[in-house]
Structure 1
């Protein structure tokens, strides 16, 4: 019975496992195990005709790497001609273990050459089974599993099923945070190709969801072949063709009539801020697909065409009144070709398009059409991958991929005029400006304000040709040398971004009140207006390459040590193709172990430690290292245009405020690339430690636990306190040295510079604008404290699998603490990756150490499916999670009595410290999703399904406005703690599918 139990536990492990020894960013899997020395192992895929044959060496250990996901038959032939056969499933990133060396018995069949020793695995399998070859923290979900549970059909929604993941702030869209990191620190792959939109790290290409065969979610411990991530890695593998022809289609439809309305939003004084009672949203997706062999056993094809349509009507009186009507239509496709040139050489080609266009019509509160905002996103991706099995022990994989990602935007006014920004720093002459009314009388309520009735977006617009381009090339080798499995490779990833923004209408008009005597309502107050112009536009690049080598050393039959080394080089170039940051050979060691305690794959103890580095995003250079324009000027005025909201009869104010000011040294002229960053700049990197175990209680039930500790060692951000550089360079309080005054700031004296917070920074500066660069070392203690971010977590998880039932449950206790979230800043929704306001001035860093925005102390996740019969099944998905910490962001009064120019950006309110995360927490949230599926027996391949998301329609607050004071006056704001997002309201999705 013990041997039967051991084999049953192994059966659970065959379906989906995690492993270090895989190639090409986990786009393939492998089979490994034990057999009699001198025997021959043959691996065959009947669906494709693929076949590989290897001899078993003297130690009896065999391994066949770089297998495409699919069903395989593994045959062992001994010297006497007897055979033993097993059917197994190989998944991407999976090491499938088979032991042919165990003595026959206990149900093991070994007879003559016609005997079968077969392990059958159902289509729906355990999510986290035991794999004794792995040191990673990985969750793998197949398309069959995803189809059986109620989950939105998108990459992030599936990733959020894994332990250690939480949804990021709504300001950044639909993104996940992994292990306490910011949402800008993840990497995304499809078939081994990087599809991350690296411009800011806040987007990725969307593979047509129906074409995804498997999705891996790596939350930690990944090997040396992975890099450029401090968060998580999401790796998707697409479907492919076989010898058997398949075709089908489906339709998903979410009607607005069955969706609940979002909650209305009120200020703390009871004023209605957003009326959502009439908001409606619907979506529909239709797909058709076909796959089969173009040449039997040689050339296979899979093709899919998908059409998506969404619409949303929002009627509210937030800020300026009015509403929007949004629609998006996008046809997408994916083609996958596989050519088995011969048993030793394979070639794959993947091409997909995800370019989508959104149209957002804007209306006044009275319902008058203002104009349309046209947005593009996504593009084309082409991937070519070669795999060569050169010997039984040496395999080589090479990949080249090219991808484009559009971020273009243009507007169309009610009169039919097209408005776009060309990115040439010229102020757009068309379009309506942005209006901000900060006068005290109208700050708190929403009536009587100066507004624009023709401004379409209320913000900045991207240039009309904004686009990102990636060219990636990588080579990965796998070499088995006795007890050592050596993997090594080269990864080249070059990225180019055409980027730039300008405010709609070219400028922002900000109305305010001047009180000369400082006595409110004394009668001497008068209104002023400030014009602000911010324009950027250039083409920037990031060049990256990495070398890695990793050894999986089988020290004993039960113990594997994994030793990995990685060297990353990052080079950032500005709009003039000049290097402004270069980090060479950043070292990233990885060390792990896996102990098969009982020697039968039923109990594993494992651990790993690793260092991971993150490059600067290209977005940093658009404004910080290239030519940009930022001006301000104050005016008095005689009237206001009732349509545009722009001032009439403007006259520059007397004195310095009325003169045109260039802010941040942004004159519209190039910056000296040598002055942009500290010359001793290190990349952002993090150390990670994981220790865990997994145990099979029986053939149906696995449990496990792991502890995780992450420590951010170095961060990159910008600092704008040029006084610190002048002090270190020997200038006096008047910014003079040796009778000469510094030119502040100038082309060689940028306003803000990149540095490692807490570390001494070496800056090159042209103090006198004479072309002479001086090197100055500024103590880290003068610029900012050391950047800190730690993540501690304990994850408990279990998997239950029966013939008609599967379930995964996990509970995570986590704590994320520090003085920086990382690449972005959820406190204020700041999307400027790596150049947040966290470290701009030392004053901004006071009282900032505490619980970070992605701190969700408790998370419970349970999902699964039960088949009542061959026709009916039900799926469920439960998420219970504690709320995030809150801050109170206010103004800082300087010794002079004036307010700090950064406004409400400090961890203090009422001029008193309010340390990070001590202003309370948001409420716990509970989300219950259910589905019912019907597969009629009379029509094979036909299926109907209904998913209900947020069954209980719980709409707890998930983010709020954390700015408590007006940045200009310090007065309390009624918008403090006003909800910014809620749980998505209840919705119902219908599906019909036919597959044959």
Structure 2
């Protein structure tokens, strides 16, 4: 049968137009705007108009027929083509989403003018479109789509819908891991402004959720415009005003009466791994929350000046009873008074201004009550813990469409983030820390009883009845301040789209921490039976800075009509300043090349083959400087004692039996910035390679496969072992002095690389440069991520869905910025490489390794009134470890006649239970009779989890403007273990730990969320 090529070309054009307009397409990297581009007869005039705001622009198609509208505010546009012959064609409903581009062609694939006439597009945008103009891996969700899916109303939960993302360890809060990276390696943006909290990289500003219009999740392959991330990039744009006045309000309510209780926590049998004895009774735990919002938007000047405003208030109250061995339980009250204002000014069709301001302050009061161990009762009030975090953010942005082919934008943003904490005791007295190294925090001290079990049973457990937190408290004046400036330009030159820009990001942190009560008293008994108590004091406080800047340039080159080549170049510079304002790390012009291609195989956007390769760098966080590079106090001293205070738990009759030891330099002494880091330090960076394809199976259905490979090329961490430098000094015949002010306890370096240290080895004020061989310090830092993502996306009149399956392998000897094994949040200075002994047997599958992940979510609209949505995830469990002591004595254990080990020759490493070795049995249990190496991830895996969320929404036709919705999360109340205690031996005795395998977190129990909303 003969093929009608004209008809075939027209069908491809129609499909291309539909895909380009109905489905979001991810174009050249944009942080808060999008674009429209395509082909039209040469010399024709193209005009876009946003019916909601009156925004309008016109361009002329070039000699090759190409046209482009760049840096467009998100929204829905009407596109009109005025031909030289006077003919007019209109495309209505062209969607532009954040960081995306829509392709609209007015000619067929063979170059003839199309005759589609006026096209109207309605419906929900496809979630994972075929975008032949992009090499990135991106998912975009609009507020409308998010509202239809049963998902928690926070940035991380939405990001976790994207392929290649997994939830991070509960120790770090509600954060996601992207592509095997740690949760501290992501970047977050709002309206083009970086809102990542760079103090530790473990927080970001929280835009009032109701104000979010769209969220873009970049999981890989992002262009040179983006940097300072090895994980992913989340970019949000907020809602804005239009010519039509809108207002409304809603309330979300999660009642405690319909919440299932978290499973009780049970001890694991150390020999079998089976759970049995009760550790934590959670039957009385409960939580209730609600949040309400009110908003209004409209035109202050028709077609010119628009405003959107929102106020939001939330409250969560919860009771936590904790361990049955605990002597306290908690009541927490959290309040979130937040707001947002967005102004947009269309000065002319060539110049626009926008301004965003929002606050995300959060205030928490936690009250501790006395508890009878073994009971879920509530006695006298012990005290209250107050904290405040968050602050205000201000963003201004100018966009100038200076010519049809050249666009310029400039942004300035300022943010403040509070980290205030203090305590109050029942008598009204206040305990806090002012950041003064000479004055520790006030209040009741922390008590740790590490004496043998038999001794504790005989005398009773030593504890404090007045300590509230059991940990450090931050300085009352703690806060972070950011000032960001950036300029971006875009220039269309024939087949080339050139983009370039400059970004300056200055971040200052005022930070400090001290133990509640100023110290920890740790009771222990030596092998000789001597009772002693160790006092440990840690005081930190400084004002530190991180200054970052970057230049980038990129070229998107249409080599042919069907083949796009991308070349991006980026240069990052990082400067870290200590508390004295001196730079201790400076890295200039770290080069980050990016290459990619996109092949529109059939020329109609129905089949795309794409790939990219890139290098990405990550700076040091500002928290590194607080203790490691600034003046601080970290001291230890042993005492004998005659008794124990029954209230505070502090020793009575304490007499020093050892000299005071300063762990990190002299008391409160400043650290010379020259000595903090290796002089040949490289930034933390990794290389990434992606290859994939997407194919339209029908007009409504597409399928894709993507392979990703990431390899960490360099890491930054600290090393606290002075013996490698001492060895070099001995080789040089120098009579060195052990760590002092000019010879800091810990130093920054690139694990696996030779280090060049400048230290005062002789203690005479003269600095000596010493090159230390990598073999003496640590092995190479390793982390690889290999993954295959399979996606299936559908979009129909009443139904949309996305399904994806990810097969992933995350392997190495370092997780990255943080350490989930022990919940360590000291970003960039974990204990991974502090001593070479700590690196033994640490290569294996990492904590964020989830081998199999299946995600399916979507919504079905029955009619104008009723719809249902679902969100289903199945995931394999993370690897388990068995971590124990390292005996440096290497003498065989001494046993009594019964075979029990007597620890008389036990000489443990000072890092306690931090090594990949412990007493184990063949079935993974713990036995103190045999100590063997247990390499990373070889202690088994946590169980698979599955979670189903459902919702139903109702918009009664008889009650115009009203809508109601019920979400049910974890419908079947699955509560599998998602994290455990991996420390198998007690520090410092080396005995089996009864808390090994103890669950640290479960799946969130079933709960209901109700919504009522009114719009007018």
1:117 aligns with 118
Report the Cα distance in structure 2 between the residues aligned to 1:944 and 1:580, rounded to whole angstroms.
Answer: 56
2:671 aligns with 671
Q: CA deviation at 1:448?
A: 3.0
> Are 2:339 and 1:311 equivalent residues in the alignment?
no
Is the contact between residue 317 and residue 365 of structure 1 (CA under 8 Å) also seen in structure 2? Answer: no
2:335 aligns with 329
1:198-597 equivalences in 2 (<5 Å):
198-269=198-269, 270-317=276-323, 320-366=326-372, 367-428=379-440, 430-441=442-453, 448-516=460-528, 525-597=529-601
SS in 2 for 1:933: strand
Q: CA RMSD in A?
A: 1.7
> Are 2:606 and 1:606 equivalent residues in the alignment?
no
> Are 2:619 and 1:615 equivalent residues in the alignment?
yes
1:942 aligns with 962
SS in 1 for 2:447: strand
SS in 1 for 2:727: helix
Report the Cα distance in structure 1 between the residues aligned to 2:351 and 2:182, rounded to whole angstroms.
Answer: 41
Q: Deviations over 1:398-417 (max 9, x none)?
A: 00000011111111111111
Report the Cα distance in structure 1 between the residues aligned to 2:234 and 2:369, rounded to whole angstroms.
Answer: 39
Report the Cα distance in structure 2 between the residues aligned to 1:836 and 1:874, rounded to whole angstroms.
Answer: 45
1:148 aligns with 148
Report the Cα distance in structure 1 between the residues aligned to 2:13 and 2:491, rounded to whole angstroms.
Answer: 30
1:302–1:429: structure 2 CA closer, same or farther, 3 Å change rule? Answer: closer
Report the Cα distance in structure 2 between the residues aligned to 1:858 and 1:444, rounded to whole angstroms.
Answer: 45
1:44 aligns with 49
SS in 1 for 2:460: coil
SS in 2 for 1:537: strand
1:93–1:659: structure 2 CA closer, same or farther, 3 Å change rule? Answer: same
Report the Cα distance in structure 1 between the residues aligned to 2:913 and 2:306, rounded to whole angstroms.
Answer: 60
1:53–1:425: structure 2 CA closer, same or farther, 3 Å change rule? Answer: same
Q: CA deviation at 1:429?
A: 6.2
Q: Deviations over 1:544-600 (max 9, x none)?
A: 000000000000000000000000000000000000000000000000000000000
Is the contact between residue 109 and residue 603 of structure 2 (CA under 8 Å) also seen in structure 1? Answer: no
Report the Cα distance in structure 1 between the residues aligned to 2:595 and 2:111, rounded to whole angstroms.
Answer: 38
SS in 1 for 2:838: helix
Report the Cα distance in structure 2 between the residues aligned to 1:872 and 1:906, rounded to whole angstroms.
Answer: 56
1:849 aligns with 843
Q: CA deviation at 1:22?
A: 4.3
1:170-185 equivalences in 2 (<5 Å):
170-185=170-185
Counterpart of 1:797 (choices 791, 801, 815) is: 791
Counterpart of 2:26 (choices 10, 19, 23) is: 19
1:333–1:507: structure 2 CA closer, same or farther, 3 Å change rule? Answer: same
SS in 1 for 2:809: strand
TM-score, scaled relative to structure 1: 0.96
Is the contact between residue 12 and residue 700 of structure 1 (CA under 8 Å) also seen in structure 2? Answer: no
1:9–1:557: structure 2 CA closer, same or farther, 3 Å change rule? Answer: closer
1:113 aligns with none
1:650–1:794: structure 2 CA closer, same or farther, 3 Å change rule? Answer: same
- My pick for the range that moved more, 831-840 or 409-418, is 409-418
> Are 2:909 and 1:900 equivalent residues in the alignment?
yes
> Are 2:655 and 1:646 equivalent residues in the alignment?
no
1:966 aligns with 986
1:398–1:444: structure 2 CA closer, same or farther, 3 Å change rule? Answer: farther
SS in 2 for 1:728: helix
Q: CA deviation at 1:642?
A: 1.2
Is the contact between residue 442 and residue 448 of structure 1 (CA under 8 Å) also seen in structure 2? Answer: no
1:870 aligns with 864
Report the Cα distance in structure 2 between the residues aligned to 1:852 and 1:442, rounded to whole angstroms.
Answer: 37
Q: CA deviation at 1:449?
A: 1.2
1:380–1:16: structure 2 CA closer, same or farther, 3 Å change rule? Answer: farther
> Are 2:107 and 1:98 equivalent residues in the alignment?
no
Is the contact between residue 871 and residue 934 of structure 1 (CA under 8 Å) also seen in structure 2? Answer: yes
> Are 2:750 and 1:756 equivalent residues in the alignment?
yes
Q: CA deviation at 1:896?
A: 5.6
Is the contact between residue 22 and residue 66 of structure 1 (CA under 8 Å) also seen in structure 2? Answer: no
SS in 1 for 2:104: strand
Q: Deviations over 1:391-444 (max 9, x none)?
A: 000000000000011111111111111111011112336310001011111699
Is the contact between residue 320 and residue 451 of structure 1 (CA under 8 Å) also seen in structure 2? Answer: no
SS in 1 for 2:664: strand
> Are 2:14 and 1:7 equivalent residues in the alignment?
yes
Q: CA deviation at 1:250?
A: 0.3
1:777–1:856: structure 2 CA closer, same or farther, 3 Å change rule? Answer: same
SS in 2 for 1:424: coil
1:708 aligns with 708
SS in 2 for 1:885: coil
Report the Cα distance in structure 2 between the residues aligned to 1:60 and 1:125, rounded to whole angstroms.
Answer: 27
How many residue pairs get aligned? The number is 970
Is the contact between residue 40 and residue 65 of structure 2 (CA under 8 Å) also seen in structure 1? Answer: yes
1:954 aligns with 974
Report the Cα distance in structure 1 between the residues aligned to 2:916 and 2:738, rounded to whole angstroms.
Answer: 29
Is the contact between residue 574 and residue 626 of structure 1 (CA under 8 Å) also seen in structure 2? Answer: yes
> Are 2:773 and 1:779 equivalent residues in the alignment?
yes
SS in 2 for 1:500: strand
**Unaligned 5+ runs, structure 2:** 1-6, 270-275, 373-378, 892-906, 920-930
1:683 aligns with 683
TM-score, scaled relative to structure 2: 0.94
Is the contact between residue 383 and residue 424 of structure 2 (CA under 8 Å) also seen in structure 1? Answer: yes
Q: CA deviation at 1:745?
A: 1.1
Q: CA deviation at 1:967?
A: 2.0
1:556–1:108: structure 2 CA closer, same or farther, 3 Å change rule? Answer: closer
Q: CA deviation at 1:940?
A: 2.0
Is the contact between residue 243 and residue 299 of structure 2 (CA under 8 Å) also seen in structure 1? Answer: yes
Q: Deviations over 1:64-110 (max 9, x none)?
A: 10100011110010111111000111111111000101299999756
Is the contact between residue 607 and residue 696 of structure 2 (CA under 8 Å) also seen in structure 1? Answer: yes
Q: CA deviation at 1:8?
A: 3.7
Q: Deviations over 1:235-280 (max 9, x none)?
A: 0000000000000000000001100010111212444221111000
Is the contact between residue 945 and residue 992 of structure 1 (CA under 8 Å) also seen in structure 2? Answer: yes
Is the contact between residue 12 and residue 125 of structure 1 (CA under 8 Å) also seen in structure 2? Answer: no
Counterpart of 1:924 (choices 944, 962, 980) is: 944
Is the contact between residue 578 and residue 626 of structure 2 (CA under 8 Å) also seen in structure 1? Answer: yes
1:7–1:377: structure 2 CA closer, same or farther, 3 Å change rule? Answer: same
Q: Deviations over 1:931-959 (max 9, x none)?
A: 00000011222100000000000000000
Q: CA deviation at 1:230?
A: 0.1
2:927 aligns with none
Report the Cα distance in structure 2 between the residues aligned to 1:429 and 1:474, rounded to whole angstroms.
Answer: 40
Report the Cα distance in structure 2 between the residues aligned to 1:239 and 1:67, rounded to whole angstroms.
Answer: 15
Q: Deviations over 1:262-309 (max 9, x none)?
A: 011121244422111100001100000000000001000000000010
SS in 2 for 1:689: strand
1:845–1:443: structure 2 CA closer, same or farther, 3 Å change rule? Answer: farther
1:164-175 equivalences in 2 (<5 Å):
164-175=164-175
1:190 aligns with 190
Is the contact between residue 640 and residue 648 of structure 1 (CA under 8 Å) also seen in structure 2? Answer: yes
Report the Cα distance in structure 2 between the residues aligned to 1:512 and 1:354, rounded to whole angstroms.
Answer: 45
Report the Cα distance in structure 2 between the residues aligned to 1:481 and 1:107, rounded to whole angstroms.
Answer: 24
